[in-house]
Amino acid sequence: MEMHFFFSDKVVLLFDFWSVHSPAGMALSVLVVLLLAVLYESIKFVKAKLLHQALVSMPLPTSQQLIEETDQDSSSSESPPVSSTCFRWFLCHFGQSLIHVAQVVLGYFVMLAVMSYNAWIFLGVVLGSAVGYYLAYPLLSMD
């Protein structure tokens, strides 16, 4: 295995079944890796957008509301009801965690593709990251 970047149309990427032996196969592999990098940047955008929407939609509890909820909880002998705000926050956090796991897995796939040391694959990842950033991040400022 080469331990430096090289230009070749023969490479094995990520799995044994993704073996490239022709220029057309390399072009298709570069396109797939480019799209994976665009998807990685898009997931980062979606994660940031969802977090922003969740924080905006969650009401900030005032100290008076916290005191009232505490008084109600301490005065009732039954188990306290689950607050809808807490439940919404839990669902939001759970969704964010799933998106984060998808982002990490995809990031490792892209990293392992680059570690094939094929310069064409590396250029596909760099171009995909640039295109993904160019397409996704201007949308963050739009509401």
126-142 pLDDT, tens digit each: 999 999 999 988 877 66
Measured CA to CA, the distance from residue 126 to residue 116 in angstroms comes to: 14
- Site of tokens 């990842």: 125
Question: Taking the complete model, does pTM exceed 0.85, yes or no?
Answer: no
Dihedral angle at the C-alpha atoms of 24, 19, 126, 124, nearest 10 degrees?
10
Residue 49 has what pLDDT? 84
Residue 38 has what pLDDT? 95
Residue 118's DSSP bridge partners are 6
96-107 pLDDT, tens digit each: 999 999 999 999
Residue 79 has what pLDDT? 47
Measured CA to CA, the distance from residue 116 to residue 113 in angstroms comes to: 6
Q: Measured between alpha carbons, how far is residue 70 from residues 65, 76, 81, 85 in Å?
A: 8, 10, 12, 15
